[in-house]
Structure 1
Amino acid sequence: MGGTCSLKPYLLLLLLSFLNVTTIYSTKPSKEEAVFFDGKFRALYVIGDSLVDPGNNNHLLTWIKANFPPYGSDFEGGKATGRFSNGKTIADYIAIHYGLPLVPAYLGLSEEQKNNVSLTGINYASASCGIFYLTGKLLGQCLSLSVQVNLLEETIEKNLKNKFKTQSELNQHLAESLFMTAIGVNDYVFFYYKFISANYFANKLLHRFLKQIERLHELGARNFFINNIKPLGCYPNMIATTEPRGSCNEHANRAIGIFNNKLRESLSGLKKKFNNTSFLYSDYFNFMLELREPSSNQVRSKQLNTTSPCCPKDYHGSLTSSCKRSSIVCKEPNNYIFFDPRHPTQIANFMYSIACFKERSICHVVKT
C-alpha cells in the first residue's frame, strides 16, 4: 500500500480526464474564471471539518482522531498525519493545483512556525465540528466554524502583521489569497432530526454560515472557494440502515439539497453586496453522487466500489463501525470511493480535483 504503487492509476485518470470532451471550451473565460482555474494565489487558508482536517484533532481531547495506521498508508512516507483518508484530502489537491505547499494544521504549529507558514496558508479544520458551535461537542473537543475564524483572525493579528511593513501590504496579501470552506455535514448528523422543517433548519444553518463568511470578508478575504455539503445519505454508515439495503437515505439527501440550493443563491447575493469579491462554488454533493452512479461518460469511476469502505474491509453495515488500528483493511484503496465509513479515499479526492479544475464540471464561478 505504499505511495509508489498508486502512481499508475493516477496517470490513467489524468489521461481519461484530458480525453473528456467537457474540457474543450469555445468561449474565452472570464477574469474570475481565469484566476480560479488557471491563476495562482499567495496562500490557502482552510476552514472545515474531517473532510479536510490535516491533524488539528490530534491536539484536542476527543475520540475523533485519525493519527494511527491504516490512515495515511498512501500519504507521503506512509505516515498517519491525522487526515481521515489513506492519503491526501481535497484541500491538499487544491493547494497542489495552485502550486502551494500542503497546508499544515494550525494546532500542530509552534508560534515560530506560524510566523513562517502563515505566508502560504494554514488549515484550521476540525473533525466532528460544524457550523453550529455545539455540533460534535458530545464526542469531545473540536473547533467550530466561528472558533476557526477566530483563530484565523488571531493568525492575522499575531503572525501575518509581523511579516508586512504596512497595513496596505497585508491587505494585498489577504486579497490575493484563497479562503476555502468545507463544513456543515456534521450539523445534519447531530441536529437535523431535532427540527420538524428541513427548510427552517437550512435557513438557520445558512444564516450562521454566511455570518462567518462576512466576518472573513471583514478580515480581508476576497477570494472564496466554497464547498457545499456532501450527500450524507449515500455514505456507508448511512446506507447500512436503508431499505432496500444499500440505497441512499433520500430523506437526508433532500434536506441537505435544500441547504445547498439556498447556499448557492446566497453566494450570488453576497457577490452583489461585496465589491471585488469572487466566489467559486464547488458542488461536492453531486460529485459524490456521480461517483456512486456514474453517467455514461464517466469511465473512470465505474470500476470503483461505491458502497463499502476500505477500512474496515469486513464492514457489516453498522452505524457505529469505524476504522481502527486493529481493522482489516482492503489491499487496494484505489478501488474504493470510501476509505472509512464516512470519508473518501485519496483516489476519490484526486478525482475531485480533476472534476473541479480540469473538467470544470463541479466548480463554477458565482455570478450575480
Structure 2
Amino acid sequence: MSFTIQEIATALGAPAEGDLDVRVTGAAEPATARAQDLALAMDPKYAGGLAEGGAQAALLWAGADWRAMGLKAAIFAPRPRLAMAGLTRMMDPGPEIAPGIHPTAVVDPTAMIGAGAAIGPYAVIGARAQIGANARIAAHAVVAEDVRIGDDALLMYGVRICARVKIGDRFIAQPGATVGGDGFSFVTPEKSAVEAVRETLGDAGASRQQHYTRIHSLGSVTIGDDVELGANSTIDRGTIRDTQVGSGTKIDNLVQIGHNCQIGEDCLLCGLVGVAGSARIGNRVVLAGQVGVNDNIFVGDDVIAGGATKIFSNAPAGRVLLGYPAMRMETHIEAYKGLRRLPRLFAQVAELQKAVSKLAQRD
C-alpha cells in the first residue's frame, strides 16, 4: 500500500501544504522515519526527531513551519489523536484471511454465511448460526449454534462466541475473547458465610461446611453495533435474561463482565476492569484500568472512575470517582493529602504531649 499526501489529507479532512504527490507507505516516529514514511510529529516537542530521521513528509501541529524542518510536504492536525484514528485506519492492512471458506473450516450445513464473508483455517461455525455480509473470521475462532452476528464483523484468532449470542454490525473481537460463557453463580442449601457477612458487615458466624450448587445460565448475551472486545476479555451469559452491551461501547483486554450486567452505549472499559453480576452501567461511562464494580448496583450516565477505583454503591450520573472505596475525586485527593500529612501531625502531637506533660509536672 502507498498513499499520496493529498490522499491522506483528504481522508483526514485536514489541510496540507507542499508537494502533495509525495507517496508514503507507512507511518513512523520522527527519529526513525525513512523517506517512504510519514513522520508523526503532532506536537512541537517531537519536532527535533525530524532531523535524525529521513522523512520527506510529516503529520504536524497546526501552524508548524514545515519548510524550516527540511520537509517536502506536511499535513496539519488540529486534533492529533483524531487524525491518528483516521491515519491508522487507512494504513492498517488487518489480518490476512482469504476470501471464502477455508477448506479446513467446519461450517454446519444449516449455518447462513453472508455475502463476501471470509472464514479462516480451522474455524467452526455451528448449527443455525447467521454470519453477516463481509464478516472476517480468523483461524480457530468458534461461532456456536444459533449465534447471530451482523455485517462487517471481525473475529480474531481463537475468539469464542457461545450459543445463542446476538451481536450487531461492525463487531470486533481481539484474540482469545469469549462471549457467552456461563455466569459464575452458585448457591448453598443453607445460609452461606458470605450471606452472613452481607447481613452483619463483618461477622461470618460459626464455621460450617458449605457445598456449592450451580445455578445454570439460561439467558445469553446481546451486543449492539460498533462494539469492540479486547483480547482475553469475557462477557458472561445471563441467568434468565440476556447480559447486554450497548452500541458503541469499547472494552479493553482482560475485562470481565458478569452475568446479567447491563452496559450502556458508548462506554469505555479499560484493562482489568471487573463488573460483577447484575450491575447496571449507564451511557458514556468511563472505567479506567482495574476499576471494580460491585454486583447489583447502578453506575449513572457519564460517570468517570479513575484507575483502580472500587465502586461498592450506586454512583449518581456525572460523578467523577477515585479511590477505595470510591468517592468524589476531589474528596479523595484531599484525603490523600491529609494522609501524607499524618507523620508530621503525629510528630506535632508528640511535641504537644511533651509540653503538656512538663507543664503538669511544674504544677
TM-score computed with the length of structure 1 as normaliser: 0.18
Query: Which has more strand, going by share of residues?
Result: 2
Query: Which has more helix, going by share of residues?
Result: 1
Structure with the greater relative contact order (CA < 8 A, sep ≥ 6): 1 or 2?
A: 1
TM-score computed with the length of structure 2 as normaliser: 0.18
Structure number, greater radius of gyration = 2
